Structure 1
Amino acid sequence: MKCAPKIVTVVAAVIWRDGKYLGVKRPQGKPMAGLYEFPGGKVEPDESVRAALVRELREELDITPTSIAFFQEKEHSYAHISVHLHFFHVRAFEGELSPREGQEMEWLTPEEGKDRPFLEADQDIVAQLAVTGSEVIQ
């Protein structure tokens, strides 16, 4: 009997600057290396999704978001894991972006994002942003 993969709660940030959002390439050594994603990560036990987002952005990018707006949530299943994702728009942050896990980063126009290989779970978000652009955060 095959067991269903564990469901992990995850946060992800669509970080905006000058009409572009930040795409982060997963570094070598991580599952799905080389694919783009929105920065974020797993929510710890007894941690709110908002607190997890702040913590993850500090750990990954050395920034502290100062303007956070909930965007949407969704579930996605990979062969090895199922995720319950909480997406947020981040319109402002303190600190200088620094890829603390060796990941490559790129500011993308919503149209350019469609041409990057994003994780499966993020692809419909990328497609939605290509239609609505930064208008969704106004």
Structure 2
Amino acid sequence: MNCGPKIVHVVAAVIWREGRYLGVRRPEGKPLAGAYEFPGGKIEPDESPRAALVRELAEELGITPTAIAFFREKAHAYEHISVHLHFFHVRAFLGEPAALEGQEMEWLTPQDGLARPFLEADRDVVAELAEVAAFGQKDVRPDVG
């Protein structure tokens, strides 16, 4: 009996620097190569999401996050896999991000992110970051009714 694809729990970091977040592009040879995503990866058995985030950022980028805040969770089903994502904001870190797994990296303004081909599971987060940033602008005023 097939119960559908296995659910994989993953962490994803929205890493901030000077109003921009880090987008990484999946390298050739990986599923969904060429798509942008937030850095992170699979949570190992008996590992907390926060511990997985610290481990994954060390492995993938060579950095140690020092200011981590839980952002949100969501589930997403791709054709080949279902993921349960744990998103975190990382507002401070030790080290300089390096592409240790062959990925391309780019610091994106929240608006820039809308124009990049992010993974389906990340697109609503990218849109939310852009919307929040837009409302933070001084020239945006709430509707008065």
TM-score category of the 2 structures, normalised to the smaller one: over 0.9
Decide whether the 8 Å contact of 1:57 with 1:63 is kept in 2: yes
Correspondence for 2:95: 95
Distance in 2 of aligned mates of 1:25 and 1:56: 16
- Secondary structure of 1:58's counterpart equals helix
Distance 1:94 1:128, change over 3 A: same
Which runs of at least 4 in structure 1 moved beyond 3 Å after TM superposition? none
- Measure how far apart 1:121 and its partner are: 0.1
Distance 1:47 1:127, change over 3 A: same
Instruction: Give per-residue Cα distances to partners, 1:91-126, cap 9 Å, x unaligned.
Output: 000011111001000000000100000000000000
Structure 2 unaligned blocks of 5 or more? 137-145
Give the number of equivalent residue pairs. Answer: 136
1:69-108 paired onto structure 2 within 5 Å: 69-108=69-108
Distance in 1 of aligned mates of 2:60 and 2:118: 18
Correspondence for 1:9: 9
Decide whether the 8 Å contact of 1:20 with 1:134 is kept in 2: no
Using structure 2 for the length normalisation, give the TM-score.
0.90
- Measure how far apart 1:135 and its partner are: 8.1
Identity rate, percent: 74
Is 1:59 the equivalent of 2:59?
yes
Decide whether the 8 Å contact of 1:19 with 1:134 is kept in 2: no
Distance in 1 of aligned mates of 2:62 and 2:86: 20
